[in-house]
Amino acid sequence: MARVFSGVQPTGNIHIGNYLGALKQFVELQDENQCIYCIVDMHSITVPQDPKELKDHILDVAALYMAVGIDPEKSIVFVQSDVAQHAELAWVLMCNSYTGELSRMTQFKAKNKGRESAPAGLFTYPILMAADILLYDADIVPVGNDQKQHIELTRDVAIRVNNKYGETFVVPDGRFLKAGARIMALDDPGDKMSKSAENKHSRVSLLDDDNKIKKSIMKATTDSDGIIRFDPENKPGISNLLNIYSAFSGKTIDDIVKDFEGCGYGDFKKELVNIVQTGIAPIRERYEDIRNSDELIRTLKDGAERAGAIAEKTMKRVKDNFGLGL
Ligand code: ATP
Ligand code: LTN
């Protein structure tokens, strides 16, 4: 059985990009693998958070994990800050990574745009992510395409440590889906769909009601030539919508294009509204029940205990190999 690890930040507005790029894979993988899914709250404080909102968002994401189909009987689900070894290992890895490689991370560059000085945690964010993954000897890391560079860095650091200190870490592979790996913003298909974008119609969130889903999709930016064709370069808007259609329906893009031959964008969007509404409704319904149950916190505490037992073993191996402690 392969070991799978991934994480999502506890910020609001989990959207269909997060779902199609990451969460959907989490569910698919849990039958055949040993899966560990984390709510990475320590990553989220790399930018300022309201403490009360953060606590709520941790439980929101945990409930969404279960609502999309993650089964805590099969997978370990826990909150990152409940297992202290994440921060402990991050320090060791920081001592084995370079400011040069961290400066090249495009996510850091994007988040730090226009500032002269950045919070050090924003800069070292990818190392905490590497620690998350390496702590659990993960073989596979299901994520969206935007995380490719961070996975490469994780591999580089793992290989570097193994070469210097002897076999310490499993070198992980990223797992990226074809149809959902990079969902673009509905209002600007040049940008990825994002939790933090100001315009709420730039995304469809998993907890949006039918009305909001309809509004956001019908408003989505397309182009003026009116032909439904997959061409991300020249027709990014309609290509993004085709991608979303394909990911929710399971149909290939070629088949969808054939089905809509001769139709206008309006007809296509109406059908897409239908498909997305149908895909999301059961998640939203399950979410309400789970979010309000007492079971949720018990599940996370149990998950932290199980994760902590694995993390402790890895940290012992790391300390032994590095000559740390007594
Ligand atoms: P933001 O949208 O504000 O940039 P994020 O990327 O920081 O949020 P996370 O919670 O860290 O969100 O990401 C959870 C998962 O969703 C990650 O695996 C990430 O790669 C994936 N993901 C995020 N945005 C998209 C997208 N637009 N398309 C596909 N996958 C995505
Ligand atoms: N950096 C990721 C979230 C994340 C993660 C991880 C994903 C933190 N730790 C470990 C996979 C494995 C993001 O911003 N999407």
CB neighbour burial string for 176-190, b if at least 16 within 10 angstroms, e if fewer:
bbebbbbbbbbbbbe
What global pTM score does this model have? 0.93
Most informative mutation of 6, 18, 183 for ligand 1 (most atoms within 8 A of CB): 18
Task: Write out the two tokens for 85.
Answer: 């070894």
Task: Write out the two tokens for 42.
Answer: 């320590």
Give the distance (Å) from ligand 1 centre to CA of residue 194: 7
Three-state DSSP class for 4? strand
Ranges of residues in the chain with a pLDDT under 70 are 179-180
Active site residues: 111, 192, 195
Q: Which atom of ligand 1 is nearest to the CA of 61?
A: 10
Identify the pLDDT of residue 65: 97
Most informative mutation of 20, 146, 248 for ligand 1 (most atoms within 8 A of CB): 146
Contact yes or no for 144/181 (Cβ under 8 A): yes
- In the chain, % of residues over pLDDT 70: 99
Contact yes or no for 311/86 (Cβ under 8 A): yes
**Helix (H) and strand (E) counts in the chain:** 14, 5
Three-state DSSP class for 194? coil
β-pairing verdict for 140-142 and 173-175: parallel
Identify the pLDDT of residue 180: 67
Which residue, judged by its Cα, is nearest atom 9 of ligand 2? 129
Give the distance (Å) from ligand 1 centre to CA of residue 297: 24
Identify the pLDDT of residue 196: 85
Give the distance (Å) from ligand 2 centre to CA of residue 24: 15
Identify the pLDDT of residue 45: 96
Dihedral sign from CA coordinates of 216, 222, 226, 229? negative
Q: Give 45-61 pLDDT, tens digit per residue.
A: 999 999 999 999 999 99
Q: Give 125-177 pLDDT, tens digit per residue.
A: 999 999 999 999 999 999 988 999 999 999 999 999 999 999 999 999 999 98
Contact yes or no for 259/249 (Cβ under 8 A): no
Using the 8-state DSSP alphabet, how is residue 75 labeled?
Answer: S
The CB density around residue 122, as the number of other CB atoms within 10 Å, is 17
